[in-house]
Chain A
Amino acid sequence: SAVISQKPSRDICQRGTSLTIQCQVDSQVTMMFWYRQQPGQSLTLIATANQGSEATYESGFVIDKFPISRPNLTFSTLTVSNMSPEDSSIYLCSVEDKAEDATEAFFGQGTRLTVV
């Protein structure tokens, strides 16, 4: 199964600043996904990151607020721009992994962001 590394694991940021979260996978994957998990809530899909094209954003999320890069098949970044306390969440990246007899979708360990 794919191993996903996220950096940073946590951060405390001032409102109005931006934070870039990195996601590194140990194998080449076509699709990478970014999710947000607000305190006490379930996961919400932010966008799908394709290599070589612009990310596809879900309803309620826009590129200006959450710009995404996908420079190659093993790496992606999510930037949380102009942060406010409402952006305090756990941000997770995910990849799908298709083996011969199984299909799985894995998550990184997440980035716990607190905006003050």
Chain B
Amino acid sequence: GQNIDQPTEMTATEGAIVQINCTYQTSGFNGLFWYQQHAGEAPTFLSYNVLDGLEEKGRFSSFLSRSKGYSYLLLKELQMKDSASYLCAVSRGSTLGRLYFGRGTQLTVWP
């Protein structure tokens, strides 16, 4: 099985930086995905980490430590539109797109 844990809720103000953590315990770890999901919409792909280290993509960065079973998503220069649920998902085995999701972190950005 797999155990994927992330905070349920976070709040931050516009322009700030927020870090959403995700820890996991799983066998056959392949890689880790982060998704953004606005209410009533499908998840939108943000990042994929397979190697240790930081991947930067504009205002969003994602970090992975395979040895620690730990990842984080870093959001900079927060905007109101960043208010959404952020989902951490682990890929296991040889099939990359076979994902197991955490419960999601609901981020609220205040003006």
Interface membership of B43, Cβ < 8 A:
yes
- Contact of A110 with B96 in the complex, beta carbons under 8 Å: no
Tell me the bound Cα distance from A104 to B45 in angstroms.
7
Number of interface residues of B (CB under 8 A): 23
Output the least CB separation between B34 and chain A (Å): 11
Stretch at the interface among A40-48, A64-72, A78-86: A40-48
Output the least CB separation between B95 and chain A (Å): 6
Number of interface residues of A (CB under 8 A): 23
- Contact of A42 with B101 in the complex, beta carbons under 8 Å: yes
- Contact of B50 with A103 in the complex, beta carbons under 8 Å: yes
- Contact of A107 with B42 in the complex, beta carbons under 8 Å: yes
Using known A-B contacts A41-B103, A42-B87, A43-B43, determine if residue A103 contacts B96 with beta carbons closer than 8 Å: yes
Chain A residues in 8 Å Cβ range of B48:
102-105
16 sample A-B contacts, Cβ–Cβ < 8 Å, listed by A number: A31-B98, A42-B87, A42-B101, A42-B103, A43-B43, A43-B101, A45-B98, A48-B98, A96-B95, A103-B48, A104-B48, A105-B91, A105-B97, A107-B43, A107-B44, A107-B45
